[in-house]
Amino acid sequence: MKTIRRREFIKTAAAAMPVAAVGGPLFAAEKTAKRPNIVFIFADQMRAQAMGCMGNRQVITPRLDKLANEGLLVTNAISCAPVCSPYRAQLMTGRYPHSTGVIHNDIRLPDNEIVISEVMKNQGYRTGYIGKWHLAGYREDPVDAKSRRGWDFWAGRNCSHEHSKPEYWLNDAGQPVRVPGWEPDVQTDLAVEFIKENKQTPFCLFLSFGPSHNPYKAPGKYVEMYKDGTLKNRPNVPNDKTDNLRQYYAMITSLDSCMGRVCDALDDAGISEDTIVVFTSDHGDMIGSQGQPHRRKQRPWEESIHIPFIVRYPRRIKKGQARDWIVSSVDVMPTLLGLCGFSIPSQVEGMDYSSTFFGKSTRERNAAFLFNINRGNSGPGTDWRGIRTKEWTYAYHSSGDWVLYNLEKDPYQLDNLVDDLKFAGKKKELHQQLEGLRKELGESMPLKGGMPVPIQLPD
């Protein structure tokens, strides 16, 4: 494996950024007055509660907070299947996991699914994907050209969490290049170069960061930013250990810095006004909430399913908004197409929020469907289904009811009402609503597994 310096790598990558093909069999190009660019940036395992603009006074996220002030902050964005591959399949297709078959990690996205890169290419856009993919059906690299689904520029890996030892496969290169440095910094270098190279033509760029996924280990300069503060865990963490939290926040601050660099590059290129910028994450991270056995993701609690979502489009979306709309992960692909004024493929199951974001409609979801298939030791030990409204979360597993929370009165989910007879009517109502959603979506997979480990809360 060849190791090269960042400057040399960026120069090599710039030369590998080809011109996209225009036109194709799927969609005819649709005329719009001004076709916006898309810069879609998403973290791995970053929960919504880890941003200043979401009310967290401990984490340092000035550029994300600025982005929220310049655009729209969605405060109820939900990862409906809170684990990596299922989220990414939804992001590419706008379809639920049971529909694509990507129901857990390491399942290949089927070739017959229409993905956003294909739609954008057929609208004459140049496309680029940088970072983690995890849709090739395996964890090894490289990802073959067919599995990459037609991105014009490709610089990434299928699945790796060695954030300080980044390796990249550029387009069809048979061997990776190792580039010393913190992975998000190198990926941001690539994103900035892509923006410079393509500022004269509409483009769609996806940037998939590896952090804040464990291992929790951030560069020292970001950890130093938290040395003088005393961090406090969320009230639903049954211990006072904050080592992981400090590293987790430091990783997020590093992503915040990268986000600022991307926005600055758009300003320098003179294209910010006509660029749709989105920042979000594939799912959250429990980091001790509800007890250490409930680690990381694949749980129905807020730390797992509730994700950041900021969208900025200066020409068309009013700035400074914070809205409590429920935007599910399955809605992202159709909404991006809608923001560009493009037709939505007929098989897409998500909701196009573009008219709502533009202020031309009041249409919104009343609930998000929650879905998880347990796989080995990576989940809670059981399959489960759930529903998340603005006020309530309800979920059941293979052996029966699991959790019921009133989010307005109990935002930290300290009081599980699932066995409280006073709320039996509400539980029945939510169960029926959830079953109605499953029937509407055609999801009838049998639930398997055993009882999940008990919830642990502070004394």
Query: What is the token pair recorded at 186?
Result: 């190198």
Question: Which residues, including other chains, have CB under 8 Å from residue 268's CB and lie 6 or more apart?
Answer: none
Phi-psi region of 87 (alpha: psi -120 to 50; beta: other; left: phi over 0): alpha
Contacts (Cβ under 8 Å, ≥6 apart) of 170 = 12, 13, 16, 154, 155, 177
What is the distance between the alpha carbons of residues 143 and 146, in angstroms, rounded to a whole number? 8
Residue/partner pairs of 353-361 with CB below 8 Å, 24 or more apart = 353/325, 353/327, 356/325, 357/72, 357/311, 357/313, 357/317, 358/316, 358/317, 359/318
Burial 198-219 (b: 16+ CB within 10 A, else e): bbeebbbbbbbbbbbbbebebb
Residue from 80, 98, 104, 134 carrying the catalytic annotation = 134
State how far the Cα of 150 lies from the Cα of 128, in Å rounded to an integer.
9
DSSP bridge pairs for 132: 157
Structural contact between residues 120 and 390, judged by C-beta atoms closer than 8 angstroms: no
Is 84 noted as a catalytic residue in this protein?
yes
Q: Phi and psi of 106, rounded to 5°?
A: 70, 30
Catalytic residue among 53, 80, 84, 340: 84
Handedness of CA 404, 409, 415, 417 (dihedral sign): negative
204 as an active site residue: the answer is no
444 C-beta neighbours (distance < 10 Å), count: 8
CA atoms in the 13 A half-sphere facing the CB of 29: 14
Which residues are identified as catalytic? 84, 134
